[in-house]
Structures are given as structure tokens and as C-alpha cells.
Amino acid sequence: MNQLDIITTHDQAQAVSLAGQTVVVIDILRATSVMVAALNNGAAGIIPVADITSARLLKNDSRLICGERNATRIEGFDHGNSPLEFTREHIAGKEIVMTTTNGTHAVMAASKAHEVLIGAFANLKSLAGYLLQKGGQISLLCSGTQGAFSLDDFLFAGALSHILIGSRQFRPSDLAKLASFYWDHARSDIHGAMNACKHYQYLASLGYQHDLDYCFTLGGSDLVPRLIFDSGNQLFIK
């Protein structure tokens, strides 16, 4: 039978075998929400990199460099890590080189899996539809924050688990069942529930309320972005 499990941080993903699995990378606040927004608005692709120097080296005329440290745009970068910056006007046709504190590391940690997909509330439905069709062994990789478990990612893992478990086509781990219960409990007041999330509170303290609203809004994208290796063996999300 199809299996469903959750990995709670990107550090934990380094320690487990992902061979043969489909892994959904989740960093709701805010890296994977940005990735889905950028691709939905016509970005040619996203190149996830670990550090600021590598991002600067990859910059050229058809590429933008984007990302954050401590949730703030990196000096000299074209964009920060707010999904609202990634409008069609700014990014259509461009490749985006991206480095963030947790989300891009989670993508790299997942790269040894058979298939790597990107999850955000914007594409929850299309992602769930794809996974229901595909089946197999699925792990929902929550990026976490600074190596620690983070409730924003767990909420999304719960929303996705709820759909997959409801189909009765998956055997869920105990953690996937817990996430599904959590989503069911929290879904009527998502922002109330997220007030308990440390990174949510941090972003709110920096004045990113519009990002918080955006990142927890369901729908808006039919995409199922996936990680590929291009001809130069460069990681690419398309």
C-alpha cells in the first residue's frame, strides 16, 4: 500500500534514506510559498543554492538573485523572500537564483529522493491531485526554522495529509495522522493557530503581515513544481 510520512526538519532529512521516495519540500514561511508564486508568475526556473557567495557567482543578465538572512533581503540582491515581490512584471522569463536560511537547504537535502516536489498553500490542491494519482512512498519534508520544528510547515503537512488519508489510499505514519488532526483543528482559524508559531511571530514583528496572509491563502496555482538536474548538473526547480 502507499505510505505517507512526515520529516520534521531539513537536518532530519539528511539522516534518513529518501531513495525511491517522492518528497514534498515545505517551507510555508516563506521559501516554498515564494517558489510557487514566482513560477506561477512566469519565472523560467529557480536555482536553489546554499550560500550567498554561490548565489552572487550565478548572477547574469537573465537571472535575478533573491533570498534572505534573518528574513531580510541580502545586500545587493534583486529581491528578498517576500512572495509579494515576485510579480509577473518583475520576474517573468527570468531564472531566479535563491538562497534562504532553511527552505533552499531543505530542497538540497531532498535532492537524493526519486522525485522532489514543492508545496505551498497556493498549490495544495494540484499537489494533492498529483500525489493521489502517483501513490508510492511519500515523505512531507518540513523545512523547520534554524534546525527546529516549525508549526507553519506542520500545518501544511497536515492539510496535505488530511486529503491523502481521506482518500484511504495511503497508510499514514502516526506523525501524518497527528498533522492531519492538527489541520482539522486549526483550519477554521489559521492565523489564530499560527500565533503560536515562533517564525510567524517573528515575521509579524518585522511588519510582514501581508506575506503572512498570502502564505496561508489556499489556491491560486495549478502548478506542481519539481526539482530537476539540468545538463550542467545544476539543481533547477520548474
71 is a contact residue toward ligand MLT (CB under 6 A): yes
Q: Which is nearer to ligand MLT, 164 or 227 (CB)?
A: 227
Which residues from 172-211 bind ligand MLT, rule CB under 6 A? Answer: 203
Instruction: In whole angstroms, give the CA distance from residue 160 to residue 122.
Output: 12
Q: Answer whether 4's CB lies under 8 Å from 202's CB.
A: no
Grid cell 505510505 in the structure block, residue: 3
Nearer to ligand MLT (CB atom), residue 4 or residue 98: 98
Q: Is 162 in the site for ligand MLT (CB under 6 A)?
A: no
Of 98, 114, 100, 121, the C-alpha closest to 26 is 121
Look-up: residue for cell 531513495? 19
Shortest CA distance to 86 belongs to which of 144, 145, 46, 142? Answer: 46
Sheet holding 95-99, edge to edge: 72-73, 63-69, 95-99, 45-48, 235-237, 227-229
Q: Please tell me whether residue 152 binds ligand MLT under the rule CB under 6 A.
A: no
Count residues binding ligand MLT (CB under 6 A).
12
For residues 22 to 41, the per-residue mask of contacts with ligand MLT, x marking binding by CB under 6 A and - elsewhere, is -----x-xxx----------
Q: How many Cβ atoms sit within 10 Å of the Cβ of residue 204?
A: 16
Residue listed under C-alpha cell 515581490: 85
108 versus 131: smaller Cβ distance to ligand MLT:
108
144 or 172, CB closer to ligand MLT? Answer: 144
Residue nearest to ligand MLT (CB): 100
Contact code string over 204-233 relative to ligand MLT, x by CB under 6 A: ------------------------------
| Interacting residues with ligand MLT between 75 and 134 (CB under 6 A) | 81, 100-103
For residue 28, which amino acid is it? I
Query: What is the nearest approach in angstroms of ligand MLT to the Cβ of residue 71?
Result: 4
DSSP letter assigned to residue 226: B
Question: What does the binding site for ligand MLT look like in residue numbers (CB under 6 A)?
Answer: 27, 29-31, 68, 71, 81, 100-103, 203
